[in-house]
Amino acid sequence: MRVPLIAGNWKMNGSLALVEQFGQAFGKAALSSSMDVAILPPLPYLAAAQTAFEKTPLRLGAQTVNPELSGAYTGEVSASMLAEFGVHYVLVGHSERRSLYHEDDSAVLARAQAVLSEGLTPILCVGETLAERDEERTETVVLNQVKTVFDTLDAQQRQHVVIAYEPVWAIGTGRTATPEQAQAVHAAIRDCLADYDEQMASTLRLLYGGSMKRENAAELLAQPDIDGGLIGGASLKVDDFLAICQSAG
Ligand code: 13P
């Protein structure tokens, strides 16, 4: 019912050579046709990736966007510009953007709205810090991050969002949430979505992110409410990323 999505967030890593390598490997990879795969390279590589991924199942994503349509915003990129390069998914609310670039909930909402207004799919990232988990505030924090966006979107827009649960303590640390820990939060998110609309809750994709790798992907993806992965480090190695995709298909 829910098509799995595996998305590779390269962060500020990669090169033109890596773009080409992924294009070649995924051009001949045997992947299930009932799954979606995306790479989110740094913005300067979008044009090259659009060409390199043309005959592959790889879709393109972007890691950030400015909520404005155009104007005097030095260094920024709008959703319509991303759309011109065939971008399909755009991350909003990644914890690195929240903490390093001070994007608060209202900034995350504005970005999600800008992405949706261009017909693109926001991947809304949510997740608690280690301190918040230790204080047993995981659900409160995560569900608030979801609600800040979902309360304002209309019913039609909500259907087009993907949510990625990324516990901050698991990102880039090698410390993955256990399948049980991840499933519990995913189930809480889905319950929260059902308060808006049960049909939407049952079809919306919830990804797990945080040190997902080829060794642990299968058991995480086997959980009933985990519909894919948002992969950082392991998306920079083509064989590892391919193996993760194969465990989802
Ligand atoms: P890692 O897979 O490197 O932990 O990164 C996860 C992430 O932040 C993906 O957006």
Answer whether 211 contacts ligand 1 (Cβ < 6 A): yes
Cα–ligand 1 centroid distance for 209 (angstroms): 6
Q: Is the pLDDT of residue 174 over 90?
A: no
Contact of 21 with 238, CB cutoff 8 Å: yes
- Which of 230, 236, 237, when mutated, tests ligand 1's pocket best, judged by the most ligand atoms within 8 Å of its CB? 230
Q: How far, in Å, is the centroid of ligand 1 from the Cα of 71?
A: 31
| pLDDT exceeds 90 at position 32 | no
Tokens 């809304």 label which residue? 124
User: Who's near 248: CB < 8 A, 6+ residues apart?
Assistant: 4, 6, 32, 35, 217, 221, 228, 229
Residue 59: pLDDT over 90:
yes
One-character DSSP codes across 201-234: HHHS-EEEESS--TTTHHHHHTSTT--EEEESGG
- Atom in ligand 1 nearest the alpha carbon of residue 233: 3
* 153 — pLDDT class (breaks 50, 70, 90): very high
Nearest to 163 by CA among 138, 134, 188, 131: 188
* First CA to last CA distance, the chain: 13
User: Does residue 94 carry a catalytic annotation?
Assistant: yes
Specify the ligand 1 atom closest to the Cα of 234: 2
pLDDT tens by residue, 35-56: 999 999 999 999 999 999 999 9
Measured in Å, residue 176 CA sits from the centre of ligand 1 at 10
Q: Are strands 5-9 and 36-40 parallel, antiparallel or unpaired?
A: parallel
Kindly list the distances between the CA atom of residue 21 and the CA atoms of 32, 46, 214, in Å, as whole numbers in the listed order. Answer: 20, 15, 19
- Using 50, 70 and 90 to split pLDDT, how confident is the model at 33? confident
Residue 243 CB neighbour total at 10 angstroms: 16
Residue 229: CB within 6 Å of ligand 1? no
Backbone angles phi, psi at 107, to 5 degrees: -65, -35
pTM of the full structure: 0.98
Count CB neighbours of 47 within 10 A.
13
Task: Find out whether the beta carbon of 210 lies less than 6 Å from any atom of ligand 1.
Answer: yes
pLDDT score for 249: 80
- Over residues 94-152, the pLDDT tens digits come to 999 999 999 999 999 999 999 999 999 999 999 999 999 999 999 999 999 999 999 99
Closest to 39 in 3D by CA, of 93, 87, 85, 76: 87
pLDDT at 52: 98
- The pLDDT value given to residue 1: 80
Tell me: the pLDDT tens digits for 178-230?
Answer: 999 999 999 999 999 999 999 999 999 999 999 999 999 999 999 999 999 99
118: CA distance to ligand 1 center in Å? 26
| 103 is a catalytic site residue | no
Instruction: Dig out the tokens for 111 from the structure.
Output: 């970005």
Residue 3: DSSP 8-state? P
Task: Report which ligand 1 atom has the smallest distance to the Cα of 173.
Answer: 4
Going by the DSSP 8-state scheme, the letter that residue 119 receives in this structure is T
Which pLDDT does position 50 carry in this prediction?
98
Chain-wide mean pLDDT for the chain? 97
Q: Is 110 in the pocket of ligand 1 (CB under 6 A)?
A: no
- Give the single-character DSSP code of 195: T
Q: Which residue's C-alpha comes closest to atom 9 of ligand 1? A: 232
What CA–CA distance (Å, rounded) separates 120 from 106? 19
Structure confidence at residue 43 (pLDDT): 98
Please give the distance, rounded to the nearest whole angstrom, from the Cα atom of residue 227 to the centre of ligand 1: 16
- As given in the structure block, the two tokens for residue 223 are 């959980």
Catalytic residue, chosen from 94, 96, 103, 128, is 94
DSSP letter for 45, please: G
Ligand 1: nearest atom to the Cα of 164:
10
Q: How far apart are CA 207 and CA 198, in angstroms?
A: 18
Alpha carbon 65 to chain centroid distance? 14
